[in-house]
Amino acid sequence: MLPSAFISHVSSGRIRLHIPEKKYDRDYFSHIQQKLKQRNYIDRVEIKILTTSILIEHRSDLKSVLEDARNLGLFHGKKASSTPPVAELMQSPWLVKGLLALGAVQILRGAALAPGSTLLMDAYRLWLASRFR
């Protein structure tokens, strides 16, 4: 069974994937890099084994790159099914409380306009956003 490559970023001519199940597997990532570099539409492949990250710079479309990788037996790409850690943090009620506390500290230090008021407004916006989900 092919490992799952989670798409973390897509822009024109660039794809960043992560394959967590192959963490620390140097042979696997070397094999991927070698195979992808042989494709004529791929300009660069950057591998970071510790973060399981693969950056592919290409002159094609996302669908073709992922289909080609699957056909080569490298991985199958899919959008990340779990919520990214930053988005999870933004949904946390602790973040709102933390921003409120930091805003209060800044106001007590005499920085009522900035950053105190900014922190309080950010806390209020997050609180509102979490109420209407």
In this prediction, residue 38 carries a pLDDT of 94
Same domain, 32 and 71: yes
In this prediction, residue 19 carries a pLDDT of 92
What is the C-alpha separation between 54 and 33, in angstroms, rounded? 9
Same domain, 69 and 9: yes
Same domain, 13 and 77: yes
For residue 115, cis peptide bond before it (omega within 30 degrees of 0): yes
- Encode pLDDT of 52-103 as tens digits: 899 999 999 988 999 999 999 999 887 755 555 555 556 677 778 888 888 8
Domain that holds residue 60: 4-81
- Encode pLDDT of 16-57 as tens digits: 999 999 988 999 999 999 999 999 999 999 999 888 899 999
**What CATH number does the domain containing 69 carry?**
3.30.70.100
Map tokens 């992560």 to a residue: 18
In this prediction, residue 88 carries a pLDDT of 55
Helix 117-131, helix 93-108: angle, nearest 10: 160
What is the C-alpha separation between 127 and 133, in angstroms, rounded? 11
Is the pLDDT confidence value at 125 over 70? yes
Same domain, 59 and 122: no
Same domain, 62 and 23: yes
- CA distance to 16, 17, 18, 19, 26, per residue, from 51 (Å): 11, 10, 7, 9, 12
Same domain, 69 and 123: no
Same domain, 19 and 60: yes
